Structures are given as structure tokens and as C-alpha cells.
Amino acid sequence: MYKSLFISCLFLGLFFTSKVGLSKAISFNHKQTEISLDSAQIKPAKFDKEALQEYKNQKSFKYDDAPTTELSLWDRFWMWFWDLVGRIFAGAASNPISKWFFIILGVAVVVFIIIKLIGTEQIFSKKSKATNFSYDLTENIHDIDYEAELNRFIAQENYRHAVRLLYLRCLKKLSDAEIITWKPDKTNFNYLAELKDLNLKDDFSALTFQFDYIWYGDFPIDKNGFAPINQSFKNFNSQIK
């Protein structure tokens, strides 16, 4: 019996001891989490009005909106015009017929402006230059008096036509030597394909390029530019046997 009483007292002692220790630990932890209030007085800062006014007066610190300039009557017209065009095309986008009408109208206006600026003579000038000639590649190259015609064009300083004569005479010599078969409907590249001699082919290709560049490309040529071209044709003709 005394033994049981002793054990009971021992457990009760341990229980109260642990309870007191736990309460002290909680109290200790509670004291650690307490935050002391700052008792210092706060003095609000004030701007220096004079310094602020000085910055305001400086041009670098002025951020006002950019001054607006009054639109002229011409500017207002174009604003109205492009606004009208935008509204018309916006409405035409939903209607296929109107859409194609304005596309065709726009193309016609562009063509009209180009013709007015350049002129029909300039547009078709290359064609007129090519046909305003008593002979071309479709004419019989064997009926041309090359020496007389060359002298005439050189005297007139018409070196572009002179180069054309040199090329036609070159075709005649190749045809006379039976290196090519000349026909009025053949092209320069048809004749180039008929050449079997690689040296002749390379030289003729270079002469053809010069001729096309000057005649069809309407490249301007003067006396100094004509001299080396004339010599190149002479060198080529000397190879034909």
C-alpha cells in the first residue's frame, strides 16, 4: 500500500513539475516575441520651394506638350481626301463589284499618270528606234552595202546603228563561210548554238552580248566607246575562213 502511495505521489510531482516548466517556457518565448515600439518623433520633410521653382524655370525640365501648328488649307484638303478614300475602300471591301471597280480605276489612274509624265513617245521609243531602220535581222543581210552604210553612220556619229551593221556583217561572213545557216526568222542565240568551234563561239557570244546591250538596251555609245567594239568585230571576222 505504501508502495502504491509512493508511486502516485511521484507521478503527481513529475506532472506539476513539467507543467510549471512548460508555462515558464511559454512565458519566455512570449517575452522573446514582444516588439518594442519606436518612441522617436517623426519630422516630415519639406521641399525647398526656391530650388523647386528654379528647376521649373529651366528649359530642360519643361515637359509641356509640343506646340501644335495650325493646319493649312492644303493639309486639310489632303486629310479630307485620304479620309474619303479610306471610307470608300472600307465600304467597297464588303462588295466584290465595288472592290474590282476601284482596283481597275486605280490601275487606270496610274497608267494615265505614267503616260502624262513620260509621254507616249518615250514609252514606245525603243520600238520606233528598232523599226525606223531600212533593214533589221529579218532582212536579207546579203543585200546591204556595209562599207557605205558604216561610213555614213560613222560620219553622222550614229555609233549605235554602226554597231548594228557590224553585227549584221558578222552574220553575213559566218553564213558565207557556211558556219551558220542564215534565216530571217532565226534569233542570235540560234546562230550561237550552231557554232561548233569553241573559240568562235566564245567570241561570238561576247559580240552578241555587246550588240544586245547597245541596240536593244539602248545603251549610249560615243566615238571612244565605238573604237574597241569595231576592233573586236574586225578580230572576229579575221578568224572566219
pTM of the model: 0.45
Same domain, 92 and 149: no
Domain that holds residue 108: 86-122
Q: Is residue 179 part of a domain?
A: yes
161 CB contacts (<8 Å, ≥6 apart)? Answer: 133, 153
Helix extents (H) in 134-177: 146-155, 159-176
C-alpha cell recorded at residue 9: 505521489
Domain count, the chain: 2
For residue 226, the tally of other CB atoms under 10 A from its CB is 20
122, 148, 178 — which closes off a domain? 122
Q: What is the CA radius of gyration of the chain?
A: 51
Same domain, 143 and 218: yes
Decide: 136 and 168 in contact? Cβ < 8 Å: no
Q: Is residue 139 part of a domain?
A: yes
Helix extents (H) in the chain: 2-32, 49-57, 73-92, 96-118, 120-123, 125-131, 146-155, 159-176, 188-194, 198-215, 223-239
474590282: which residue's cell? 100
Same domain, 94 and 175: no
Per-residue pLDDT of the chain (241 residues; tens, 9 = 90+): 544 545 555 445 544 454 445 444 444 444 455 666 666 677 776 666 776 677 667 666 555 555 556 677 777 877 887 787 777 666 655 666 666 776 777 777 777 777 766 655 455 554 434 433 434 555 678 888 899 999 999 999 999 999 999 999 999 999 999 999 988 888 888 898 999 998 899 999 999 999 988 988 888 899 999 999 999 999 999 998 7
Q: Is residue 23 part of a domain?
A: no
Q: Is residue 180 part of a domain?
A: yes
For residue 112, the tally of other CB atoms under 10 A from its CB is 10
